[in-house]
Amino acid sequence: MNETKKIPVLERVMKKNEQIAAEVREQLHEKGIVTFNFMGSPGGGKTTLIEETIKRLQGKKRVAVIEGDLATTIDAERIRHYGVKVLQINTGSMCHLDIRLITQALEKIDLSDIDFLFIENVGNLVCPSSHDLGEDYRIILASVPEGPFKPKKYPVIYKEADAVIITKTDLLEYFPDFKVEILFQHAKEIQPEIKTFVVALKGEKIIIDDWITWIEQAKPKKR
């Protein structure tokens, strides 16, 4: 059996998915909704960033959240606490969200009722990069304990990113070899247009204002 001959099957599925994603993006734009796809390693701080962002957008932007995880509703429960619409998708053994799961989730959200849609992808620095979810912006989180070389080691996901956020910077003193500027420089070598932010969301010194200022002003855009 010749396996290579049949690979076009997967290519066709991917192409069809891209078409659906483009249609979803258009549909969301018609409603004036801006969509953000949050990606990063497991435990990199995606849910915490979404929580803290929602808190600061209250009264300014109406937000809905789609939570992607292999299993559990732990993250959805955390977000629900903030009184926003949240939908949990469990992917089972699939390493990323795809547009078919997103369209199913969107059927359950009143789109006339929101300004921003946040999608938290499965914790993974590889698979999510090749799946368009109809988003306007791709946000990559890189947490300090992961070390400074993530853009170099996982270039594919950085190539398509609109912003990189270094999280857990309250831990910088325990990781003296982690240089914020070095990670940003590596990210810019891969994607020169990438926006760069740092956040610290625990401890005494909270840092998040630059990120909030940027996201508040984010407009719908084509990918």
142 in helix, strand or coil?
A: strand
The pairing of beta strand 63-69 with beta strand 116-120: parallel
The residue from 20, 22, 70, 182 that contacts its own copies (CB under 8 A) is 70
Q: How far is the CB of 93 from its own copies (least distance, A)?
A: 5
Binding mask 160-189 for its own copies (x = CB under 8 A): --------x--x--x---------------
Residue 46 found at the interface with its own copies (CB under 8 A): no
The residue from 109, 115, 145, 196 that contacts its own copies (CB under 8 A) is 145
DSSP-assigned letter for residue 63: E
Q: Give CA–CA dist 14/10, Å, rounded.
A: 6
Nearer to its own copies, 67 or 135 (CB): 67
The residue from 39, 117, 125, 199 that contacts its own copies (CB under 8 A) is 125
Nearer to its own copies, 145 or 220 (CB): 145
Residue 72 found at the interface with its own copies (CB under 8 A): yes
Q: Per DSSP, which regions of 144-187 are E strands?
A: 163-167
Angle value at C-alpha 113, between 89 and 36, nearest 5 degrees: 50
Q: Give CA–CA dist 146/77, Å, rounded.
A: 26
The residue from 37, 41, 53, 88 that contacts its own copies (CB under 8 A) is 41
- Which residue from 127, 212, 215, 205 is spatially nearest to 171, judged by alpha carbons? 205
Q: Per DSSP, which regions of 72-136 are E strands?
A: 85-90, 116-120
Residues engaged in binding its own copies (CB under 8 A):
1, 3, 6, 9, 12-13, 41-44, 69-72, 74, 93-95, 122-127, 129-130, 143, 145-147, 149-150, 152-156, 168, 171, 174
